[in-house]
């Protein structure tokens, strides 16, 4: 495995998380929230809507921060490969949230299943890549070469 695989992952997740952040800004999030939760379109306005948007903005800000970090890590991918398991855990948590939202919070089924599939792609890609990183770092010569 070379740094190129890590670079692809970091670039993809960095851009994806930054797009999530932009999409969850209050000026843009109302339309997305109406797709996710049909009840939002049925009179869920005013302070309740602002509260929902603010809650999702926090999620977007967290993803945006990890996205910026992932893009910054492109400078030395193997050195900052520890971001990979962070992304995997974020995606596992978000996948559990989607299941909860579909079952108990009236999230639109098609939207929830779509985002669940996206989470699974990131989880599988991240775990596969992290295993390769672990294999690479467990080889003494590879670790020594990285230090020099």
Which pLDDT does position 134 carry in this prediction? 85
pLDDT, mean over the chain: 89
Which pLDDT belongs to residue 30?
84
Instruction: State the pLDDT at residue 52.
Output: 85
The CA-atom distances, in angstroms, between 17 and each of 49, 73, 103, 105, 131 are 23, 14, 25, 24, 23
In sequence order, which residues have a C-beta less than 8 Å from that of residue 32 and are 6 or more positions away?
A: 23, 24
How far is CA 123 from each of CA 24, 106, 118, rounded to the nearest angstrom? Answer: 22, 25, 9
Taking residue 87's Cβ as centre, other Cβ atoms within 10 Å add up to 26
| pLDDT in the model for residue 142 | 53
Q: What is the pLDDT of residue 137?
A: 75
pLDDT of 11 reads 98
pTM: 0.86
> How many other CB atoms sit within 10 Å of the CB of residue 68?
14
Over the chain (148 residues), the average pLDDT of each successive run of 10 is 90 98 90 83 73 91 98 96 97 96 90 97 98 82 56
Helix (H) or strand (E) holding 86: helix 83-104
Which tens digit of pLDDT belongs to each residue from 75-107? 999 999 999 999 999 999 999 999 999 998 888
């Amino acid at each position: 495995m070379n740094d190129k695989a890590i670079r692809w992952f970091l670039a993809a997740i960095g851009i994806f998380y930054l797009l999530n952040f932009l999409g969850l800004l209050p000026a843009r999030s109302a339309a997305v929230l109406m797709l996710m939760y049909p009840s939002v379109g049925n009179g869920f306005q005013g302070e309740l809507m602002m509260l929902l948007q603010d809650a999702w903005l926090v999620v977007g800000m967290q993803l945006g921060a990890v996205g910026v970090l992932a893009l910054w890590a492109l400078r030395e991918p193997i050195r900052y490969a520890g971001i990979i398991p962070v992304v995997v855990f974020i995606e596992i948590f978000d996948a559990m949230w989607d299941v909860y939202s579909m079952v108990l919070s009236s999230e639109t089924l098609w939207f929830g299943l779509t985002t669940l599939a996206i989470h699974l792609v990131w989880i599988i890609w991240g775990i596969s890549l992290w295993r390769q990183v672990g294999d690479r770092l467990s080889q003494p010569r590879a670790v020594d070469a990285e230090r020099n």
